[in-house]
Amino acid sequence: MDTALSEICTFVAAIPPFDKLPNETLETVIKEMSICYMRGGESLPPKGITDQRLYIVKKGALSYFSSDDELLGKYAERDICSRFCRKNQAEEVYVVTDEDTLLYSIPYDHFTETVKDFPDVLSFLAETYEERLNKKVSTLNEEAIINSSLMNTTIEDFYHAPAATVEASTSIQNAAIKMSDLGFSCLVVVSDDTDPVKNNPVGIITDKDIRRRCVAKGLDISVPVTEIMTADMATIDIGNSAYDALMMMTHKHIHHLPVTDDGVLAGMVTSTDLMNNEGHNAVNITSMVHKAKSVDALVEISELLPKLQVRMAKLGTTADHVGKSISAITMAFTIRLIKMAEEVNGPAPVPYAWLAAGSQARQEQFAHSDQDNALIISNEMKPEHDEWFLRLATFVSDGLDRCGFIYCPGDIMATNKQWRQTQKIWDTYFETWVSKPHPKALLNSSVFFDLTTVYGDTSLLESVRDNMLKATQKNTLFIAHMSKNALQLRPPLGFFRDFVLVQDGENKNVLDLKHNGIAPIVDLARIYALAQGISATNTIERLRKAAGTSSVTKASALNLIDAYEFLGMLRMQHQAQRLMAGKKPNNYLSPKKISKLEREHLKDAFKVIKTMQDARQSAY
């Protein structure tokens, strides 16, 4: 191509989606282009242009406004304005030059014909922001499928079949012989051949059971294995992912999980299988945590956490998966610390549960986040018992801080008497927050609407949560106040040159991914969940469950999930980069470091959030 046009070619070729065009097609596109010039303050399209066109800003800037004069965004050098591509499309908005502007314009009819063999290019320009974002997130998820073995391998791909079994009447000794012969550390106990339902799994027996429940207790080795087996065993259906198996094993602290197919025993998956599948992984760290003998040992293990996060980010794992893994590990740390405290202080005087709040409860935690926790204690608690619980809280909280989960700056910790209370008091807390909502109080307590039991008696929180959700569903004033608070964090409009463009047309140097992107979606999902009585705490799960209810349409919920996953991915990559550079992870992204394409996707994500926030606002 001519040197002159090759200069223009280079300029255009660097702008997505033109980067996807081969040279000869791009040259044809360039030949269809016209260069236009407009003074500042003029309205697009330029005088004399009546056909539908695509515009690329070569130099200068454009602003676009809604029909009621609200600034919607800006275009600067290398931005594509596709508002004049189709008839009627431009009617909802108007576009004005901010300054003297040199534009490249491409007649859209010719263009669609020229690039007809490149549907991706056309769809990029023609699709709505929701469609574009969805496509991007689908691609990211596909990449994650390829990259992350655990998340997306089904159990079927690596379980052992058939599971090694022994009949219920087998003696402990014979079971031990079979285990030695097979080289297995675990057998599933099935009903005897003579039973009406033969080979029905009735329990599980492991090396550890033989050691602890038989040898250590001096039990006769000729008694049936049923004497020492774990009868109430966890199983997992073959259709689940390896990741689900990991979650269940982490949560229940087990290393062997029988696999069932349609309720029938089909095989066994072990933590070794998972570890082999994903070397330096969450299971690995979790099992190290369980074995740790001291807080010092835990501190040492905790240093692996940022490394795990980096590794997962590099593998292209989704932010959802990383959040769940880090949250599961944090849970393991907490449980280990609680057990250490119980070893020192003796058993709890009354039943209780250790609760996690905020991001850990939502399973959205990343390395280096602060701790948010609380204690819910049985109503049988006497005043003198509090000393035991304070000692527990202090030990665990100090331990978590040493392990990198720093003290909560807002003092939302079990060490705070306010958040170390009986079930009855927690009921009254929620009752006050819900039935007498006060905006400021709600702002401070919203973290408690994301609660989960880490350790202890899960029924304590369940009953409080049930009461709370019954109340929130009915209380529109509460939902209105929550909505109002949630609308205080707004996404930016987009980008202007190397700045973040915010609502009032101001420019900011950095994008706060957390407060201007992720938190608004978390808030919306929480509101939907509370309004619909959904007990889930994870944002994606809340959105999935709320989809199609009176709170949010199915399509909107899916759009929010796309936006959430995309923002999460960007945050994770950003943090991984910082961690690799030996810096503390944060949520601040400089526009200079965001690629042209990512900016487009970010703008789409912002638009999704804005649309849903506006809908929320008009609902109240």
Partner 1 sequence: MWQNHSLFSWLCGYEAQRKQMLKRAPEGALKEFLSVPFPAVNTPYSSLEILAVDFETTGLHAVNDKLLSVGFVTLKNNQIALGTSYHQVIKTVGDLQADNVLIHQITDDIKNRGLQLRSVVEKLLEALAGKVMLVHFARIEKQFLTQACIELYGMAPVWPIIDTLMVAKRRMDNRDVSYDPSELRLTPLRDKFGLPEHYGHNALNDAIATAELLMVQVNNMPKPSEVELGDLLL
Give the residue, chosen from 19, 41, 51, 59, that forms a contact with partner 1 under the rule CB under 8 A: 59
Indicate whether 100 belongs to the interface with partner 1 (CB under 8 A).
yes
Indicate whether 38 belongs to the interface with partner 1 (CB under 8 A).
yes
Give the residue, chosen from 63, 82, 105, 472, that forms a contact with partner 1 under the rule CB under 8 A: 105
C-alpha–C-alpha distance, residues 314 and 320, integer Å: 14
Among 316, 312, 314, which Cα is nearest to 366's?
312
C-alpha–C-alpha distance, residues 511 and 525, integer Å: 22
CB of 142 to partner 1, least distance (A): 38
CA dihedral for 259, 264, 265, 267, sign (positive or negative): negative
Nearer to partner 1, 41 or 162 (CB): 41
Peptide bond into 45 cis (omega under 30): yes
In 3-state terms the chain splits into helix, strand, coil percentages (rounded to 5) of 55, 15, 30
**Residues 217, 223, 229: CA angle, nearest 5 degrees:** 70
Indicate whether 47 belongs to the interface with partner 1 (CB under 8 A).
yes
Among 42, 43, 18, 22, which Cα is nearest to 106's?
18
C-alpha–C-alpha distance, residues 39 and 361, integer Å: 55
Indicate whether 32 belongs to the interface with partner 1 (CB under 8 A).
yes
Indicate whether 35 belongs to the interface with partner 1 (CB under 8 A).
yes
C-alpha–C-alpha distance, residues 387 and 434, integer Å: 30
Nearer to partner 1, 135 or 596 (CB): 596
Looking up tokens 């049985």, which residue turns up?
Answer: 378
Give the residue, chosen from 13, 20, 25, 58, that forms a contact with partner 1 under the rule CB under 8 A: 58
Give the residue, chosen from 31, 116, 291, 554, that forms a contact with partner 1 under the rule CB under 8 A: 31
CB of 100 to partner 1, least distance (A): 6
Nearer to partner 1, 20 or 58 (CB): 58
Nearer to partner 1, 39 or 198 (CB): 39
Question: Reduced to 3 states, what is the DSSP secondary structure of residue 153?
Answer: coil
DSSP 8-state symbol, 224: B
Give the residue, chosen from 19, 23, 34, 252, that forms a contact with partner 1 under the rule CB under 8 A: 34
In sequence order, the β-bridge partners of residue 451 are: 357
Q: Order of strands across the sheet with 165-167?
A: 165-167, 186-190, 201-206
For partner 1 (CB under 8 A), the number of binding residues is 27
Indicate whether 102 belongs to the interface with partner 1 (CB under 8 A).
yes
Give the residue, chosen from 19, 23, 39, 211, that forms a contact with partner 1 under the rule CB under 8 A: 39
CB of 89 to partner 1, least distance (A): 21
Residues 517 and 594 sit within 8 Å (Cβ to Cβ): no
Among 125, 82, 73, which Cα is nearest to 103's?
82
- Which of the ranges 40-48, 173-181, 533-541, 593-601 carries the binding residues for partner 1, by CB under 8 A? 40-48
Indicate whether 4 belongs to the interface with partner 1 (CB under 8 A).
yes
Nearer to partner 1, 38 or 246 (CB): 38
CB of 86 to partner 1, least distance (A): 21
CB of 40 to partner 1, least distance (A): 10
Give the residue, chosen from 19, 37, 237, 505, that forms a contact with partner 1 under the rule CB under 8 A: 37
Q: Order of strands across the sheet with 93-97?
A: 71-75, 62-66, 93-97
- What letters, b where the CB count within 10 A reaches 16 and e where it falls short, cover 470-502? ebbbebeebbbbbbbbbbebebbbbbbeebbbb
- Which of the ranges 58-66, 417-425, 457-465, 574-582 carries the binding residues for partner 1, by CB under 8 A? 58-66
Which residues fall within 8 angstroms of residue 462, CB to CB, at 6 or more apart? none
Indicate whether 122 belongs to the interface with partner 1 (CB under 8 A).
no
- Which of the ranges 1-9, 143-151, 494-502, 577-585 carries the binding residues for partner 1, by CB under 8 A? 1-9
Indicate whether 3 belongs to the interface with partner 1 (CB under 8 A).
yes
CB of 155 to partner 1, least distance (A): 58
CB atoms within 10 A of CB 22: 9
Nearer to partner 1, 78 or 160 (CB): 78
Nearer to partner 1, 35 or 406 (CB): 35
Over the window 481 to 520, marking each residue x when it contacts partner 1 by CB under 8 A and - when it does not, the resulting string is ----------------------------------------
Query: Contact positions toward partner 1, by CB under 8 A?
Result: 2-5, 7-8, 30-39, 46-49, 58-60, 99-100, 102, 105
